[in-house]
Amino acid sequence: MTYEEIEVRYPKLIRAMQWAAILSVYEARECVRAIQEKRGSGEAVSHFGGPVAVFKAAIRCRRCALKSQSA
């Protein structure tokens, strides 16, 4: 998947990842791509604990992230 396709398909996940792990849009998209391709990701994601850790944190915090974006 291209970065644009990822952003269109998973907009809420991207926002939650940005909020939970303090990532940029690019880093969040790259993290989704890393999970899909089962590989490592960039430095910011690695400091957080890897792509799976960012994904888990985004799932835990998804309600907070969505509420803060709508306010």
| Widest pairwise Cα distance in the chain | 35
Other beta carbons within 10 angstroms of residue 26's beta carbon come to 12
Phi-psi domain of 41 (left: phi exceeds 0; alpha: psi -120 through 50; beta: other):
beta
| The predicted structure's pLDDT at residue 66 | 60
Over residues 20-71, the pLDDT tens digits come to 999 999 999 999 999 999 888 889 999 999 999 999 999 988 776 566 665 5
| The predicted structure's pLDDT at residue 69 | 62
| The predicted structure's pLDDT at residue 68 | 63
